[in-house]
Amino acid sequence: MSLSQLIWSQMTDPFRIVLLIGLVYTMLRTRPVTGTLVPLASGVAFVAIIIPVTLATTLPVPLWHQIGAGLVSNTALLGIILGAFAAYARLRG
pLDDT at 8: 94
pLDDT at 17: 96
pLDDT at 55: 82
Task: Provide the angle, in degrees to the nearest 10, between the axes of the packed helices 37-54 and 14-34.
Answer: 150
Average pLDDT over every residue of 79-90: 94
Q: In this predicted model, which residue has the larger pLDDT, 56 or 86?
A: 86
Give CA angle at 90 (44, 87), nearest 5°. 45
Average pLDDT over every residue of 69-84: 96
pLDDT over 90 at 61, yes or no? no
Give tens-digit pLDDT for 3-56. Answer: 899 899 999 999 999 999 999 999 999 999 999 999 999 999 999 999 988 887
Q: What is the DSSP string of 35-66?
A: -SHHHHHHHHHHHHHHHHHHS----SS-HHHH
Counted domains in the chain = 1
What is the span of the domain harbouring residue 22?
Answer: 3-92
